[in-house]
Amino acid sequence: MYTIEEFDKQKTKVLKYILYKKRTEQEIRKKFTPTIEENMLEDIIQYLKEAKYINDNEFIEKTVNNFMILKNLSIKEIQYKLISKGLDKNKIEDYISQNKEELEEYEIKSAENIIYKKSISMEQEEIKQFLLKKGYKIESIKKAIENSKM
> Residue 149 has what pLDDT?
76
Q: CA 117, CA 112: separation in Å to the nearest integer?
A: 9
> Residue 150 has what pLDDT?
53
The CA-based angle 18-29-3, given to 5 degrees, is 85
> Residue 69 has what pLDDT?
96
Q: CA 58, CA 24: separation in Å to the nearest integer?
A: 10
pTM of the model: 0.87
Residue ranges of the chain with pLDDT lower than 50? none
Q: CA 85, CA 74: separation in Å to the nearest integer?
A: 17
Closest CA to 10 of 27, 35, 31: 35
Model confidence pLDDT, tens digit, residues 9-50: 999 999 999 999 999 999 999 999 999 999 999 999 999 999
